[in-house]
Amino acid sequence: QWRDMAQHVADERTMEGAARRRTSGLHDHLMPKEGWTTQGCAVMRTAAGERRLGIHVAVLGAAGGIGQPLSLLLARRGSELASLRLYDVAHVAGVAADLSHVDARAPVRPYQGTSELAEALHGVDLVVLVAGAARKPGMSRDDLFQINAKVVFGLATAVAKHAPNAWLLVVTNPVDATVPIALEAMRKQGAGNDRKVIGVTSLDAVRAKKFVGDAVGIDPARIMVPVVGGHAANTMLPLLSQCSPRFAFTRKEIGDLTTKLREAGTQVVEAKAGAGSATLSMAHAADRFIGQCLRAMQGAKGIVECAYVSSSVTELPFFASPLQLGRDGVETYLPLGPLNTGEREALQLLKSELAQSIQKGTEFARNA
């Protein structure tokens, strides 16, 4: 009997000790020994002798088809972000409420309507512009321009006024024209850093990786394909001769892969039958690119991505090409590298249409 009582007491002490350890561990997780400080709307952890600061990010168009999944992916980045500000003209409070339940540290804040736009942008480090209409079946990118040009001009103007030093990543289509609009709108306000206004064309690279991976039977994550030029079907050019790892594609295989990449957006629009465009894959690609930007802003070296920017890599004033990113945006504009005969010919063909889109966007902004 004594042995039974002794064992019972030991069991209780063991359980009590385990409970204390669990409680202590939970306390240490929720109330860590490092100090906490606040700056703006962000809560940041201060470790011994070092303050780890996150980055303030704003998503403009957060309640839309791309904005919602992109905001989710960004919220999951947690402590990389000091705050995630979600702006839209309607329905954004519900998106923020939903995302506020994600188990990540970044505080999510909604801002709705033009009266709250300045507050949403105040003090942000990086702005992602996804607002505007999506393509529908039968709609050309010129049709899309007529709708989205005003949206991009207005929001870029607000960025220039309230966050002039922020990176501005433009996702809203047609990117070939909306990036010139955004940069020109900022310049009209005395802002606009060529190295920080960037058109996100990463979906082209993501698709190229996927299509090549499927064609050769290896993991797309292992593949890198530079996609240069613009972001429209007739202006993008995958440089398959520079694919890493290298593959000996036939002329027909190159033609088929290039056509598949150029028609990918239309394929999704038609498959969704009026219910949207490539929102999920675009959100994934944008999140991937934003992650690289966040790393560059925090001092990581050697980050190279293709994106559409103001540059002198070609005779055109804007062009998508490999870029090395740094703390203050584009650090180095890398050359296109050696092109084969087919790529050189395709490059010359796309320049005319790309030049027209650039001119159209620039003139719109200058006359707005």
Catalytic residue among 91, 101, 162, 231: 231
- Is residue 292 classed exposed, middle or buried when 0-12, 13-18 and 19+ CB atoms within 10 A define those classes? middle
Closest by CA to 223, choosing from 242, 197, 250, is 242
- Is residue 172 classed exposed, middle or buried when 0-12, 13-18 and 19+ CB atoms within 10 A define those classes? buried
Yes or no: say if 265 and 278 are a contact pair by the CB < 8 Å rule: yes
Yes or no: say if 351 and 314 are a contact pair by the CB < 8 Å rule: yes
Question: What does the angle CA 77 – CA 82 – CA 84 come to, to the nearest 5 degrees?
Answer: 70
Tokens describing residue 164: 């002039």
Contacts of 330 (CB under 8 A, 6+ apart): 194, 195, 196, 198, 309, 311, 323, 324
DSSP characters for 21-71?
A: HHHHHHHHHHS-SSEEEEETTEEEEEETTEE---EEEEEETTTSTTHHHHH
Q: Is residue 8 among the annotated active site residues?
A: no
- Cα separation of 365 and 153, whole Å? 7
Yes or no: say if 323 and 333 are a contact pair by the CB < 8 Å rule: yes
Yes or no: say if 82 and 44 are a contact pair by the CB < 8 Å rule: yes
Tokens describing residue 229: 């030029």
Contacts of 270 (CB under 8 A, 6+ apart): 137
Q: What 3-state DSSP class applies to 268?
A: helix
The residues carrying an active-site annotation are: 231
